A and B are shown apart, each in its own frame.
Chain A
Amino acid sequence: MNDHDHNHTGLRRRGFLTAASGLGALALAGCGGSRGDSGGASGGGTPRRGGRLRAAFAGGGAGETLDPHRASLFADVARAKALYDKLADYGDDLSARPRLASSWEARPGLDRWKVSLRRAEFHDGRPVTARDVLYSYRRIADPAGAFRAKASLEPVDLDASRAVDARTVEFVLKRPTAEFPNVLASFGAYIVPEGARDLDRAPVGSGPFRLVSFAPGRTAVLRRNDDYWDGAPYLDELEFLVADEESARVNALLGGQVEYAHELNPATARAHEGRGRIEIVRLRNSAMQAFAMKTDRAPFDDPRVRRAFFLIADRQELVDGALSGAGVVGNDLFGKGCEFYADDLPQRTQDLDRARSLLEEAGASDLRVTLDTSSVAAGFTEAAGIFRDQAAGAGVTVEVRTGGKDSYWADVLDSGTLCCYRSGAMPIESHISQRLLTDSTTNATKWAHKDFDALYRQAQATKDDEERAALFGRMQRRLYAEGGFLVWGFADWIIGTAPSVRGVDRKAPANTLDWVRFDKVWLA
């Protein structure tokens, strides 16, 4: 007789519990749609005050933290956003918008920025001051803390930066940085009160909600902050609940146990879209999906091979197969819909004959490559399988190698030649500085070109927006022609809500201001 312990293998058999990987899930999402007709709430009407909204997220278990500087999961970010503010945050096109900062102004050299703070109060009644800002940033930059946002604050010389008066900070930068407001909006750069240490237990922020209770891995209950500077939220109470399994989030939503479920599968969305029982919100252009080619080693050190690979990909087939159709095709550039995105370049399509001749020219007719993949992100293994079949059409033998989830990103950073890749919402400038400069810390395509670095520095030293846009355009044309990222698509980010929930933004990609933002949400 089999004993029951064997049932655990059922997990693997059914590919269950993908959400529990959590940690890797974070910086997902590409960039977003245009502003314009944004803010389209689910249904209209006059906002009504009151009520309690329960929102289900995949969580990080008992290890979850309320420390906003340690936020790494979507659930962490959603809580941090409800409790705290940043100086700036990303709009739908990933350009920085003022939040706690009311305005910013650069000195002519672009290496000194004066940031004025708006009148805002922490939950304990103390005003938000320049000293709080400097304390927060210094805490993040402290090497002992190993905070995620430390890398984003790297351009700031925090020792030289100072508080001019209670509501003015002068930031001194290590070099000219025209896109400095992006730093103020960067992931995890929340403002905490000066001297705050025990942020995990007694969080005091300036955000739209105050903490009532928190049980890591289970629930966080928050109450409306009536004195919020951006207008008090409509909801009386907001409760974050953790449900790691997607089917549990959907069932809880269908059963009326929650009113908001974050991160649903395309299949779920299709099954319930337009049926009236729940509302499906698709945040378009959210997660950039790509294959990363290492440009410093064979065979991808030859630009002709990279171009051939661009032409091998049938992007629509990848979107339909790996993303179940929940997404749009990519054009080998990061940041569709973002500020500075080069949307004037022609859409690339599959051309196997041309790919074959490029490979022949490069002397790589019988090419064999290994494609690294892992179940670390939705659609990765499917995308690898589809691309293997597409490559066979051009005479390229792709061998798919499936690696572990926990160390996938660290593994593919330096080893291998070709891997599945995805990325979260960030400004195109951040994508370049983190991944495409000679000294970038996560340069997965090993794209290192002095002239490209120089173009980036020139852009950061250019005050005029149009001139800067032209420089970003030049960089993107170069990447389009011979870069290491084969960006084949942008996945939707799918959210489900109860029909009574209004005011959920339908345009904001993950990681932007209006995504998982609950202070403008109300219950009809």
Chain B
Amino acid sequence: MSGLGSWVARRLLLGCVQTVAVVLLVFGLTEALPGDAAVALAGDQPDPARIAALREAMELDRPAHERFADWAAGLPRGDLGHSLASGRPVSSYLSGAFGPSLLLAALTVVPLVPLGVGLGVLAARFEDRWVDRLVSAVTLGVYAVPEFALGVLLVTVFALRLDWLPPTAVGYGTDLLGHPAALVLPVLVLLARPVCSLSRLVRAGMIDALASPYVAQARRYGIPDARVRYAHALPNAVAPAAQQLARTVDWLLCGVIVVEALFVIPGLGTVLMDAVAERDVPVVQGLAVVFGVVTVVLNLGADLVAHRFAPRTEVAA
């Protein structure tokens, strides 16, 4: 157990280093781009005197390393700094947008696991028979459709033609739970591709495991087929799927920009798009910190799950 403990500690330390590296990289790259928040705000009125005044007001005239040091000094206190565009605290940007993102991610993940694993197991059970062919064909087909196209299609059919569901969540703000009907289409769009990738991974893992020597051995011992399948093969198939699932959750939380834009859901992806367009460096950095932490924690969790299900699968520290 102490081995696992030190492994977790090492992973956490590495995660911190990775997050710091991401933040530094984001800052460096944003600084390297031509123009800045003052130029972006001046827009089509690039009066040099006004740009200079804006730069002074935003303290962009100070050296980059000083600004970064100031911002970093606030981090231990949980202070993510203030937006250049509005002067409001970055934390208020994140807290406002985190709710909708978290809700969408949760609503997507809950049906995702049973659906993805179930379809994968089903396909593997009937390997190369018509059920498998059907599941494989459909999942491959749906996987090939980009979210945007799928979203437009679903909105046109279910919202505009049939009038069953609202086309967007506009006007509901953060009170999305109060309007569950508005969440159906976004969740369907978000589910579509992860379900496909997850089920295909599970199917491949199952088939691999079922063909493995230890399953053959288990069968020779006369262990019932169902037990071999679900107690021995499935855990091995789930291990790689857990990592894929972590990536999916990460992707969901870090702002599914297309879905947020199409359905007008004010989540983290929208904040990111706006902040990048405005060159609002503190907000972008704040998001980088949040995304970095979320990614590190989720991957650690996934590795732990994989470790638990299939201890032999070595996980790189």
Contacts and interface: CB of A to CB of B under 8 A. Distances in A.
**Most chain A beta-carbon neighbours within 10 Å: one of B45, B174, B247, B257:** B45
Contacts of A217: 266, 270, 274
A352 to B, nearest CB: 32
Contacts of B96: 62, 215
B258 to A, nearest CB: 7
A63 B171 contact: no
B147 interface: yes
Interface in A422-442: 422-424, 441-442
A27 interface: yes
A207 to B, nearest CB: 22
A149 to B, nearest CB: 10
A22 B277 contact: yes
Interface stretch (A30-38, A246-254, A478-486): A246-254
Contacts of B261: 16-17, 20, 244-245, 248
Which of B50, B261, B271, B279 is the most central at the interface, judged by chain A CB atoms within 10 Å of its CB?
B261
Given A251-B155, A406-B33, A4 B197 contact: yes
A286 to B, nearest CB: 15
B66 interface: no
Contacts of A247: 152, 262
A10 B51 CA distance: 33
Contacts of B171: 54, 219, 239, 241, 252, 257-258
Contact of B277 (A245, A406, A409): A406
Contacts of A409: 39, 42-46
Interface in B148-172: 148, 152, 155, 159-160, 163, 166-168, 170-171
B277 to A, nearest CB: 5
A160 interface: no
A17 B257 contact: yes
A421 to B, nearest CB: 9
A399 B291 CA distance: 41
A255 B167 contact: yes
Contact of B88 (A4, A24, A62): A62
A524 interface: no
A188 B47 CA distance: 16
B83 A251 contact: no
A410 B51 contact: yes
A441 B47 contact: yes
B201 interface: yes
Interface in A11-49: 11, 14, 16-17, 20-27
Contacts of A4: 193-194, 197, 247-248, 251
Contact of A248 (B56, B93, B168, B247): B168
A23 B47 contact: no
Interface stretch (A126-134, A140-148, A363-371): A140-148
B202 to A, nearest CB: 12
A61 B33 contact: no
A443 to B, nearest CB: 10
A8 interface: yes
B35 A406 contact: yes
A407 interface: yes
B44 A27 contact: yes
B107 interface: no
Nearest to B42: A410
A23 B262 contact: no
A99 interface: no
A64 interface: yes
B45 A442 contact: yes
A200 B85 CA distance: 13
A151 B277 contact: no
Interface in B18-60: 33-35, 39-51, 53-54, 56-57
B263 A248 contact: yes
A215 B270 CA distance: 14
B264 interface: yes
A496 B283 CA distance: 33
Contact of B273 (A14, A17, A54): A17
B229 interface: no
A348 interface: no
Interface string A310-339: 000000000000000000000000000000
Interface in A138-175: 143-146, 148, 150-151
Contacts of A54: 171
A406 B39 contact: yes
A23 B53 contact: no
A60 B278 contact: yes
A65 B41 CA distance: 13
B303 interface: no
Contact of A243 (B39, B147, B264, B278): B264
A65 B50 contact: no
B159 A248 contact: no
A10 B258 contact: yes
A216 B86 contact: yes
Contact of A146 (B39, B54, B173, B247): B54
A23 B278 contact: yes
B141 interface: no
A451 interface: no
A143 B44 CA distance: 20
A10 B194 contact: no
A106 interface: no
Nearest to A412: B46
Contacts of B42: 409-410
B136 interface: no
Given A21-B277, A26-B43, A7 B48 contact: no
29 contacts: A1-B201, A3-B197, A3-B248, A3-B251, A7-B146, A7-B147, A8-B257, A11-B257, A23-B40, A23-B277, A23-B278, A24-B44, A27-B45, A62-B83, A146-B53, A148-B50, A244-B273, A248-B261, A248-B262, A252-B170, A252-B171, A255-B160, A255-B166, A257-B166, A257-B170, A406-B39, A410-B51, A411-B34, A423-B44
Given A23-B277, A254-B160, A406-B277, 5 more contacts: A5-B251, A17-B261, A63-B85, A258-B171, A410-B46
Interface of A: 1-5, 7-8, 10-11, 14, 16-17, 20-27, 54, 56, 60-65, 72, 143-146, 148, 150-151, 200, 215-219, 239, 241-245, 247-248, 251-252, 254-255, 257-258, 404-407, 409-411, 413, 422-424, 441-442
Shortest Cβ-Cβ A-B pairs, 3 listed: A407-B35, A61-B274, A63-B85
